[in-house]
Every structure is written in C-alpha cells, then in structure tokens.
Amino acid sequence: MGVSGVVTLTFLLSLSCSDGVPRFANYLQDHMVLQRAPQRAVIWGFGDETKLTTLRFNDKIYTTVSRKERANNLGESIWSVTLDPVSDEGPYDIQVTQPLANGTLATITLHDVLFGDVWICSGQSNMQMAVIDIFNATEEISNAGKYPKIRVFTAALKPSDTPVEELLGIVEN
C-alpha cells in the first residue's frame, strides 16, 4: 500500500471512530415512514459526546446533546430528538448537524420521509411468504404501483442474547 493509501485509510478510520461524526441509527433511512400525529416520532443516532446536535425539520429547529451514559458497544454517544406531532404526510427532509473536532460542521440528512401509519408485522415462518406465492399474485403485483406511499422495511433474522441499540442486519427490499 502506498503512502496515499495509508493516509486515506488513516483519515477514514479517524472519521468513523474517533472524530465523532454523527450518524442516524441504522434503521432510520431515506424513504422511510414515521408514525403520524397524534404520536411523536423520535429521531436518534450517534455522535460526539457533549457536542450540540441540531435537527432541522419542517421549519423548526431542535437541539440536543449526545450522552455518554447511553453509549453503544462502539463507545459512540447517543443523541435523541422527539419531534412535535406531524399530521401532513410529506415528503420531508430531516437534517442533523454537529460540530466536529476540526471546527467544521458535519451534516447528515434523511430524504423523502413520509408520516403515516406504521405497521410492525411479526410472526412465524408464514410472515416470510413472498407475494408471488399468494392467491391472485399477478394482479396484486401489477396493482402495487398504484400505492407509491407504501414503504416496506425488513429486519434481518439475526437474534441477539443481549440487548442491542441497532438492528444487527437490514434486508434490502
């Protein structure tokens, strides 16, 4: 590996480990749906301890500080913001900024976020049945395009014997 490769690798490692670059929890992603009003959605993630975290959403600014007492197994401090109830479905962008140790401002953004009803489905092996295997599958699949605001998210089947802050895997849909 050349000198530039070592410098690049060192820079990337410093960003991901020690510089406290903010990030969202792994299941908070672009194109997601959050529960609409009257419930209050919680946006959270990881960042540098004691740094002011600013969230901008729907013409409102929320601020919080990452707390070390709620750190994950990587030692990252956790920040959390509870949004005011949202009635309009969107779409919205949710932007989070946090100052870095080098004096710059890190910005992360969730794009195309909708607010609506969130259904969490769980069960036994029949919950994994593919749409192609159901009665009238061809018609149901052809009609799926009529519902662009339905978003599907699948957590990987990776159990843990101990509590975890984030999902251990996410299935691409």
In terms of pLDDT, which residue wins out, 4 or 148? 148
- pLDDT by residue (tens digit) across 152-164? 888 888 888 988 8
**Confidence class for position 13, pLDDT limits 50, 70, 90:** very low
The mean pLDDT value of the chain amounts to 85
Give the C-alpha separation, 9 to 93, whole Å: 31
> What is the model's pLDDT at position 164?
83
pLDDT at 96 over 50: yes
The DSSP call for residue 74 is: T
Question: What is the Cα 171 distance to its own chain's centre?
Answer: 14
Question: Domains in the chain, start-ordered, CATH in brackets?
Answer: 20-171 (2.60.40.10)
pLDDT at 14 over 60: no
Give the C-alpha separation, 101 to 22, whole Å: 12
The helix or strand, by DSSP H or E, that contains position 12, with its residue range, turns out to be helix 3-13
- pLDDT by residue (tens digit) across 41-82? 999 999 988 889 999 999 999 999 988 776 677 778 899 999
- pLDDT by residue (tens digit) across 97-137? 999 888 899 999 999 999 999 998 887 877 778 888 889 99
